[in-house]
Structure 1
Amino acid sequence: MSVQPHQAIEVFYSYAHEDEKLRDKLEKHLTLLRRQGVITGWHDRKIGAGKEWQNEIDTHLDSSQIILLLISPNFIASDYCWDVEVKRAMERHEAKEARVIPVILDFVDWKSAPFAKLQALPKNAKPVKEWRNHDKAFLSVAEGIRLVAKELAVNS
């Protein structure tokens, strides 16, 4: 009897383009998880030329087991993030098809949002920008995502 290696957990980044630098930094902090085959990451900047962006986003939003909502004033103000990605993410979360994780990047009124009932990262839902050292904040996020990915891999 051989042990089958588990398939990497797909992670979808839902974010406002104004927060791209922070998304890039988070992605760097998740590199070890990717290198170890624990996760694969996807965001809209990976859409190839000539592909239909709406279709690509919908496909990955529907196939990802972890959906990260990168919360900031830009995110809350983005009609696309709010009306399309948050709506679909929460539908999949409620159906237990995906785990939605809010990642608080900056101060914004989010505590009455549909995802406010979910445990957020980094630790204590303290916004990344409030941490004196952003790397410590992203380490907290990476550790949280590692735990969720492990849990999902065991239960799949």
Structure 2
Amino acid sequence: MSLQPDQAIEVFYSYAHEDEKMRDKLENHLTLLRRQGVITEWYDRKIGAGKEWHNEIDTHLDSSQIILLLISANFIASDYCWDVEVKRAMERHEAKEARVIPIILDSVDWESAPFGRIQALPKDAKPVKKWRNHNDAFLSIAQGIRIAIKDLIENS
């Protein structure tokens, strides 16, 4: 699966900064999709100097076709993640403008959250930190995202 650069699927990472190392690992595991031109990725650390961070986040939340919610206790506790990013992500998901994919990083009560009815990754929504080998969890996530992208492309 390879797309033209202007056809690449934009992926937005919504995460708590305390989980940045896990976000970095996930980004590494999605490198092949990026190298193949299938995805472009965006997260708040890509905001350039002198730009208004709130506007940049809103712009990318509104333009991304896939929004990854990196779920942990830190994420659930983050007012910004919850009040701004989850709210907008779910609006776009329900309007079928974007696909929200919860990525379960750690054990946390998330099933009753607004995104609790959405199929989560990795496999069986087993938290990444519960896997003996985290790379196996990230492989499961990367494969799940690849399948979601294929579905988006075929149904667009």
TM, length-normalised to structure 2: 0.96
The answer for the alignment partner of 1:15 in structure 2 is 15
Tell me the secondary structure at the aligned position of residue 7 of structure 2. Answer: coil
- 2:55 partner letter: N
Q: Distance in 2 between matches of 1:94 and 1:130?
A: 30
Shift of 1:118: 0.1
What stretches of structure 2 of length at least 5 have no aligned partner?
A: none
Partner of 2:127: 127
Alpha-carbon shift at residue 154 of structure 1 (Å): 2.1
Taking the aligned partners of 2:137 and 2:7, their CA distance within structure 1 comes to: 27
Cα distance in 2 for residues equivalent to 1:151 and 1:108: 29
Matches within 5 A, 1:6-155: 7-155=7-155
| 1:37 partner SS | coil
Deviation at 1:139, TM superposition (A): 0.3
Aligned counterparts of 1:8 and 1:37: Cα–Cα separation in 2: 6
SS of match in other structure, 1:148? helix
Equivalent AA in structure 2 for residue 76 of structure 1: I
Gap runs ≥5 in structure 1? none
Partner secondary structure for residue 50 of structure 2: coil
In 1, distance between residues paired with 2:89 and 2:40? 18
Letter in 1 for 2:135: D
Secondary structure at the counterpart of residue 22 of structure 2: helix
Paired positions, count = 153
Root-mean-square deviation (CA, aligned residues, Å) is: 1.1
Distance apart, 1:155 and its partner CA: 2.3
Offset of 1:123 from its aligned partner?
Answer: 0.1
